[in-house]
Structure 1
Amino acid sequence: MVDVLRVEVVSSTGIVWEGDARSVIVRTSEGDIGILPNHEPLLASLVPCAAEVLSTADTREVVAIDGGFVSVADNRVSLLSQFAKIAEEIDLVAAEHELAAAEKRINAGELDEETRHHYLRAQAQVRAARMAREN
């Protein structure tokens, strides 16, 4: 039995993170899912979240993603998203301002899909940046 996952986090601009991992935690449309080596094949839609990857070097990588898909097969995990950013690269203050601006627009009645998506992406970035700072 293999005890390592090969993980790729891919955004529309390219590979954001790749490496070997012990586990991955992401949020699907059905809820949070933990992926360990030898997981059964899976294809699921992702919702905006802070994905966590526990690398084989025992570091926790946190990545903000704004939805997309997770694919698991043969100890390979691919997180495919339009937007993905490593938590350490996120400016927490800027992300909090972005979230506040999106909340203000929603509270003012702007309930269009673009505003909702902007809010969820900012929320994922804030969550990821805060999680990364907890280490």
Structure 2
Amino acid sequence: MATLHIEVVSAEASIYSGEATFVALPGESGDLGILPGHTPLISRIRPGTLKIKHGDGTEENIFVAGGILEVQPNSVTVLSDTAIRAADLDEAKAVKARERAEEALRNTKDKADMAVVEAELAMLAAQAAAARKFSHKRASH
């Protein structure tokens, strides 16, 4: 079975390095599915879930807060400021952080600050949604 090498790197650490048969993630212009032999591509990615399918059929999910994707025929590299394995996501923390960001948005008048906080809110909303999704999957197994 053909595979491709995938590297997921955040600002803090290397989150994942290994082989996969399929990778899916939220590209800037829509969801992307990548198989071995994919045409080279560089794209921005949106906050959301990166899915890595292994040769044995198991799947690994990683939340990414946006970033850059590079695809070569036999490799995928994802660079993200924040990347968190699904098992480590904490919905309560994400919701609390989103509430703090919403409060900051209500209290700011500067347009540049508003844009930064709005981007953070979008990332935190995606993180909370991913945490909720994966906590339900863990509970049902």
Instruction: Give your verdict on TM over 0.5.
Output: yes
Please give the alpha-carbon distance, in whole angstroms, between the structure 1 residues aligned to 2:58 and 2:95: 25
The alpha carbon displacement at 1:98 in A equals 2.0
Give me the TM-score of the superposition, normalised by structure 2. 0.82
State the partner residue of 2:79.
80
Please give the alpha-carbon distance, in whole angstroms, between the structure 2 residues aligned to 1:102 and 1:61: 29
Q: 1:45 to 1:91 in 2, by over 3 A?
A: same
State the partner residue of 2:118.
116
Q: Deviations over 1:2-30 (max 9, x none)?
A: 61121111011221112111211111111
Q: How many residues matched?
A: 133
The alpha carbon displacement at 1:109 in A equals 7.0
Q: Answer 1 or 2: which has greater helix percent.
A: 2
Amino acid in the other structure paired with 1:56: G
Question: Considering only aligned residues, what root-mean-square deviation do their CA atoms show, in Å?
Answer: 2.0
Q: Percent identity?
A: 29
The alpha carbon displacement at 1:59 in A equals 2.2
Give me the TM-score of the superposition, normalised by structure 1. 0.85
The alpha carbon displacement at 1:37 in A equals 1.4
Determine if the alignment matches structure 1 residue 96 to structure 2 residue 95.
yes
Q: Deviations over 1:60-80 (max 9, x none)?
A: 211111111111103101111
Structure 2, unaligned runs of 5 or more: none
Please give the alpha-carbon distance, in whole angstroms, between the structure 2 residues aligned to 1:64 and 1:126: 10
State the partner residue of 2:128.
126
Q: 1:104 to 1:58 in 2, by over 3 A?
A: farther
Please give the alpha-carbon distance, in whole angstroms, between the structure 1 residues aligned to 2:17 and 2:126: 20
Please give the alpha-carbon distance, in whole angstroms, between the structure 2 residues aligned to 1:131 and 1:35: 22
Structure 1, unaligned runs of 5 or more: none
TM alignment of 1:2-41, pairs within 5 A: 3-41=2-40
Amino acid in the other structure paired with 2:33: G
Larger radius of gyration: 2
Please give the alpha-carbon distance, in whole angstroms, between the structure 2 residues aligned to 1:119 and 1:4: 36
Q: 1:109 to 1:26 in 2, by over 3 A?
A: farther
Secondary structure of 2:76's counterpart equals strand
Secondary structure of 2:126's counterpart equals helix
